[in-house]
Chain A
Amino acid sequence: MEILMSITVGVLFTVGTYLLLTKSLLRIVLGLILLSHGAHFLLLTMAGLQTGTPPLLNLNSEAYADPLPQALVLTALVISFGMTSFLLVLSYRTYQAFKTDDLEKLRGSADE
């Protein structure tokens, strides 16, 4: 399971980085979303995945799952949700103001 998750993370990072390097604003936003998903999966995977064990120390069971990564991912997820919505609004406003989503045209003039 860890192997599968690691491959998923790798694919998400690859695609996210590719999108981040393009010139279109929307693609950059999508790239950041994919990258943050990758990072969240990574956080979950790195702690070791365990199935069928309770997340609390229990007298009856030998093993227990680590609850901390889930708590961390939940926090990170909420934060990235907020950031993404802010970023979407900001990009839309920028698009409205400049009538373009091409970053080449959003560079700013040379004398600045």
Chain B
Amino acid sequence: MNNLLVLPFLIPFAVGAILILFSKRIGTQRFLSGLTAIIMLGVSIYLLTVVRAEGIVVLEVGSWSAPFGIVLVADLFAAIMVLMSSIVGLLCLFFAFRTIAPEREKFYFYPFYFFLLTGVNGAFLTGDIFNLFVFFEVMLISSYVLIVMGGTDYQLRESLKYVVMNIFASILFIATMAFTYAVTGTLNMAHLAERVAELEQVGVLNVIAMFYFIVFGMKGALFPLYFWLPRSYFGPPAAVAALFGGLLTKVGIYAIIRTFTLIFPHNLDFTQPILIWVGAITIVIGGLGAVSNFDFKRILSYHIVSQVGYMVIALGLYTSLAIAAAIYYIVHNIIVKTALFLYAGTAQRITGTTDLKQMGGLLKTHPLLGWMFFITGIAIAGIPPFSGFISKLSLVIAGFETGQYVVSGIALAVGMLTLFSMIKIFMYVFWGEQKHTKAQGKIKVGDLLLPAIPLVILTTVLGVAAQPILSFFLEASNQLLDPSIYIDSVLKGGGA
């Protein structure tokens, strides 16, 4: 029993509700939201230390015991994800202070920002499938509002597709839960895990597992359901795009990893090839999309698709090192992707466009932006000593250990495509002749880059201090690979 577990989503929920009252007072909104984001970061760091010290922390909401009531569970993986969401939430918020138009601020930008974080953190911490659905919906409805806010023609058109796709996925989710409940008679994840193990995951349970994969894959932008992502992430302002690009798809991936390590790990012969090959096709498609595009934000959006594939491959390999690589990849990707979207927003602020062909020579007028982009760009391409290198390395080692040479080869080859598209951005945007006017060249962007600096530091630290961090992630992955720890702490005695 530990009430600490409700804080990561209760705080943003309460503050979001309060912020609605101050919708016309921008100063108050900024102060309150900034303060809240800092408190959330503190809470999530504290949560991680508690989980590290005491093992899995469980809260039975309203003291209804485990299979009957709703439980909240934080294992290391969930605590790491909550920490990441707090970091990204804080930094994107400070970027938003500088970039979001006052019209948006007056029309409930901050409340929905916090409702989004409520959904994300809730999805990480819940121990009940239906509750997961509810938090998904909280997250999605806020994301609909944030993505369409501003109401330009492009936003309306593309958000419509995003909304229709996601509502369809939600309906599929409900149907899947119906089948799950019919077969197993429970929706508590730990209880489900126990029952599925008793039924040995054959026949209809495999179908259910695949349905979950489709539902979460749709949210996580896996092949062939990725096409909505690059278009819809292009529309909203950079702060929102950075938050979405960093966090939202990873919630889908988190749910896939959770279900396939906890509930459906009993039929690896069937699930493994599907996960691995869907992941492999996803990274190739994402990589090719990034190479073929000539727009800053679109290239980054296709990278999201590509990177998500790596995480699913790592899950498919299903060894201790591979899952640790998946966690490493998620953490690395959240940091780097957020930073890159922030640069895209900054470059857009300077030049007024995100079209690569209309940009050039930014390195001369804004060297700090250029070099920060360079570090992050080679980090995502997997060049040492930054975090991308370690995550790819551990993934490929895990691939070789399990004999998946083809997939490891694909993963490495697409790494080249990523590097190529990053170099393309660097050459078009930062090298070449200056295409923006002298007045634009004098725009100061120091305050816009401030939120990205912690991210650059983090990616460097993740790469340089790989040994302790990887062993910490191995600890988290061993916890994931032994579902009995999770099941016991939920069903027997209610944990710490």
Contact = CB atoms under 8 A, between A and B. Distances in A.
Given A20-B168, A75-B130, A69 B175 contact: no
Contacts of A56: none
Contacts of B141: 82-83, 86
Interface in B140-179: 141, 144, 148, 151, 153-154, 156-160, 163-164, 167-168, 170-172, 174-175, 177-179
B53 interface: no
A26 interface: no
Contacts of A40: 174
A35 B169 CA distance: 11
A90 B160 contact: yes
A83 B170 contact: yes
A2 to B, nearest CB: 11
B182 interface: yes
Q: SS class of chain A's interface: helix, strand, loop or mixed?
A: helix
Nearest to B68: A68
A11 B424 CA distance: 51
Contact of A35 (B137, B168, B187, B231): B168
B134 interface: yes
Contacts of A106: 157, 160
B134 A75 contact: yes
Interface residues of B, number: 31
A97 B133 CA distance: 32
A42 to B, nearest CB: 4
B156 A83 contact: no
A80 B187 CA distance: 20
A36 B181 contact: no
Given A98-B153, A108-B231, A39 B160 contact: no
A97 B156 contact: yes
Interface in A73-100: 75-76, 79-80, 82-83, 86-87, 90-91, 93-94, 97-98
Given A83-B167, A87-B163, A108 B157 contact: yes
Contacts of A80: 167, 170-171
A93 B171 contact: no
A46 B171 contact: no
A91 B160 contact: yes
B288 to A, nearest CB: 17
30 contacts: A20-B168, A32-B168, A32-B171, A35-B171, A38-B175, A39-B171, A39-B174, A40-B174, A42-B174, A42-B175, A42-B178, A43-B181, A45-B178, A46-B182, A47-B182, A68-B181, A72-B130, A75-B130, A79-B134, A79-B170, A82-B141, A83-B141, A87-B163, A90-B163, A91-B160, A97-B156, A97-B157, A98-B153, A106-B157, A108-B157
Interface of A: 20, 25, 28, 32, 35-36, 38-40, 42-43, 45-48, 68-69, 72, 75-76, 79-80, 82-83, 86-87, 90-91, 93-94, 97-98, 106, 108, 112
